[in-house]
Chain A
Amino acid sequence: MSDIPMTEAAAITAPPSPARLLARKALRHRGFMLGLVVVGFITLVAVFAPFLAPHDPYKQDLLARMARPVFLGGDWKHILGTDALGRDYLSRMLYGARVSLMIGLVAAMISAVIGTTLGILGGYFGGKVDAVVMFIVSVRLALPATLVALAVVALFGGSLTVVVLVLGFLLWDRFAVVMRSATMQVRQMDYIAAAEVLGASLPRILWKDVLPNVMNALIVIITLEMAHAIILEAALSFLGLGVQPPTPSWGLMISEGKEMLLFESWLITIPGIALFILLLAINVLGDGIRDITAPEGRN
């Protein structure tokens, strides 16, 4: 039994572990890696904003208003210039990354919980439960998300908490739809039937057998909905009914720079490009995760 060469040979020819296969696929996927690096970078910037920011993002300096960024002839004291109130633009950009990421993450988590619960229940039970779930989804889709979000923020005031909650409670539809169909597929599997025969309780089956097997799809939707929440927050703040001044939100900065559109268009270009890069990276990352976790031979 202690035939060492044999086991070594077996180890060499044995297929690589699933985790290693996944890692290999991930490293080879250009979009995934690019998205990961950019999102990781912006996350680090957001986390360490207090250490990286050269100035206080709220401090006004009316003598240094609308200083131009370095690449447009400004000086190095304010690398990205200052806004109409003389606040350092780079510092506001760095703190703005916090607002975007925080809102995206928390809103996506809230909607993930709501949508996944509805979707798994509908997909697992089918029949009347499913009909009710689909009805709730139809009602949610029929309500114009932007208008309802604007109205609720107008009624309850534009604090960060209100914006996050509104988005979280509005953007769960895709979770419900995707989780429902993923659960329907898992429901057909023998291991679910086995768990039922073994007498496993319903919460246990849903939590231990269904949820882990729809996790891949869930992670993809979480990334995509994060991007959705970030873009909607920016739009709400742009319309003046999202995050309120003086909080540095990229959407709000574009709105504030809009007045100077004709003369100082960099005021809207800088936060716009940052927003675009963040959203692009998150979307590419999400698409990458979908490709990597898809079973062989599917794309």
Chain B
Amino acid sequence: MLKFISMKLGLALLVALTVSFISFILLYMAGDPAVSIAGEGATADVIAAIRQQYGFDRPLLAQYIEWLMRALSGDFGMSYYFKMPVSDMVAERLPVTITIGVLGMGFALVLAIPMGVLAAAFPNSWLDRLALGIAVVGQAIPSFWFGLILIVIFSVNLGLVPASGTRHWTGYILPMIVLGYYATPAIMRLTRAGMLEVLSADYIRTARAKGLNWRSILFKHALRNAIIPVVSLAAVQLGFMFGGSVVVETIFALHGAGFLAWESISRNDLPTMQALILIFSMFYIGFTLLADILNAWLDPRLRSG
């Protein structure tokens, strides 16, 4: 187990290092950063001074290593646009993104797992079809459009929840649904497939033959075994959701890290872009690592592989 964890940890660190290099390189694909800091109409002298001041005239690798060392200590430099330390802005915005991400995942799990279990318990029934319908629609519905439609129905026409902002807790409801529905189809399909496999196993037949309560067989004995791959999928999806929250935060005007990413990207604010791409990647890498370890702990067969 310790060998497994250290191997996975080493791999995750290597992936993180590569990703950090890629997000650093992004700045260099954009052309001369000194020009974009100086702004339009700056003289060559000013640009040269900025280049020296920010250290853009040094070798790329040296700049990368310095940037990485600073990033590791939580210093992502100053935002070109907001003229504030990037880490302060991110720290202020991240809680909103984490809140809707976690709420969204909760919504997805609460919807997907019972539906997946019931769909597998009654294959080809109307419940199974409903679950399939929810999954198929969820895969095809563009989340930004779904969000707008929910705003039209629940905020504009019914006036139940605010259309934007999070001053009141009800402002989190629609973003939670939109973000959560996005993760639902995959989780539901995996739960259903896992349950179908487990339910055909011998020990389930034995349990039924012994006259055990069907509901306790489903939710206690079968689900416990079918849930293992679902746990790891959910962890990975949560990583995706943080990165994908930019769309939801923009529609509902939630001032989270995703919205900050959109603001900084549309204003060519490179240090903020770099920092956010790196941070969202780190979340994903962390969650995948967690999922791998959790999986190995729950299912010892995986440890050798």
Binding site for B on A (CB under 8 A): 135, 138-139, 141-148, 150-152, 154-156, 227, 231, 234-235, 238-241, 251, 254, 258, 261-262, 265, 268-269, 272, 275-276, 279-280, 283-284
Contact = CB atoms under 8 A, between A and B. Distances in A.
22 contacts: A135-B14, A139-B15, A139-B22, A144-B240, A145-B243, A146-B243, A147-B276, A147-B280, A150-B262, A151-B277, A152-B26, A155-B268, A227-B140, A235-B143, A235-B247, A238-B247, A241-B265, A254-B142, A261-B152, A262-B156, A279-B142, A280-B137
Contacts of A283: 136, 139-140
B22 A279 contact: no
A30 to B, nearest CB: 12
Contact of B140 (A135, A151, A239, A280): A280
Centre residue among A150, A227, A241 by max chain B CB count within 10 A: A150
Q: Is the interface of B mostly helix, strand, loop or mixed?
A: helix
A240 B265 CA distance: 11
Contacts of A275: 142, 145
Interface in B70-122: none
B294 interface: no
A281 to B, nearest CB: 8
Q: Is the interface of A mostly helix, strand, loop or mixed?
A: helix
Given A144-B280, A276-B140, A280-B140, A138 B15 contact: yes
B129 to A, nearest CB: 12
Interface of B: 11, 14-16, 18-19, 22-23, 26, 29-31, 136-137, 139-145, 148-149, 151-152, 156, 240, 242-244, 246-247, 250, 261-262, 265-266, 268, 273, 276-277, 280-281, 284-285, 288
Nearest to A150: B265
B147 to A, nearest CB: 10
A150 B250 CA distance: 13
Nearest to A230: B142
Nearest to B27: A155
Contact of A151 (B137, B247, B273, B281): B273
A284 B136 contact: yes
